[in-house]
Structure 1
Amino acid sequence: MNALGRAAMNAPAMARSFAAAAKNQKYYILMYDYVEGILEKRAPFRAGHLGLAKELHAKGTMFMIGAYANPPDGATFIFKGDSPAVCDEWLKRDPYLANKLVTNYRIREWCVVPLE
């Protein structure tokens, strides 16, 4: 069986695991608005940005990230923690923010609703 087939077979178990964890876990969404021309301007800082994301994911505080497409004018980052302060390390160290590629950001608590 190929990797896609294995992933499809594991999807229900993964969903149940996420739903169980979501009942006891707080999540926070950090939303970025990017400068015009982000795709070109981010190049010198992208490796550091993604490296930091991987570091925080390994620590268990960053859950998921993704940039918006069409237009590429922002991104969302999902953190796991007890308070919005879980986003602080990211905000202090993100090269995009430090190099003024972010025009605005906001943090919201995200109430996850388990569907199982």
Structure 2
Amino acid sequence: MNYYLLFYETVKGYEAKRQPYRDSHLRLAREAQERGELIMAGAFDPADGAALLFKGETATDAEAFAEADPYVRKGLVSRWYVKKWSVVVE
């Protein structure tokens, strides 16, 4: 099993703009966590981005999450990308 980090870079004013989509975003995250795909997630401080940790055979789950995320779909995320994370201590 591999780990993948999904990185978000957010637009200016993200914290105020996210409110209408927050429940849908969190529901998507909880569903991914219940399926065992999403391990943990959170925003940076200051909230200029976020990181979400996924576990799976490929990056597909992380990519599919981003593509379905209302934050991405509504333009609150200016850039997202996935990187495979080689864990040396677990």
Establish whether TM, by shorter chain, passes 0.5.
yes
- Is 1:55 matched up with 2:55? no
Find the residue that maps to 1:60 and give its secondary structure.
coil
Query: 1:65 deviation in Å?
Result: 0.2
The AA in structure 2 aligned to 1:63 is I
- Relative contact order, higher structure (CA 8 A, sep 6+): 2
Q: Deviation above 6 Å: which 4+ runs of structure 1?
A: none
Question: Which of the two has greater helix per residue?
Answer: 1
The AA in structure 2 aligned to 1:54 is R
Q: How many residues align?
A: 90
Q: 1:82 and 1:92 mapped to 2: Cα distance?
A: 18
CA RMSD of aligned residues (A): 1.1
Deviations 1:14-34 (A, max 9, x none): xxxxxxxxxxx2000010000
* Corresponding residue of 1:40: 16
Equivalent of residue 64 in structure 2, options 81, 84, 89: 89
Q: 2:58 and 2:43 mapped to 1: Cα distance?
A: 23
- Is 1:78 matched up with 2:61? no
Deviations 1:43-67 (A, max 9, x none): 0000000110000000011111010
Task: Give the TM-score normalised by the residue count of structure 1.
Answer: 0.74
Q: 1:107 and 1:28 mapped to 2: Cα distance?
A: 6
Q: 2:24 and 2:15 mapped to 1: Cα distance?
A: 15
- Is 1:102 matched up with 2:77? yes
Find the residue that maps to 1:112 and give its secondary structure.
coil
Query: Where do 5+ consecutive residues of structure 2 fail to align?
Result: none
Deviations 1:76-104 (A, max 9, x none): 00111111112132122100000000001
Question: Which of the two has greater strand per residue?
Answer: 2
Query: Where do 5+ consecutive residues of structure 1 fail to align?
Result: 1-24
Identity, in percent, stands at: 38
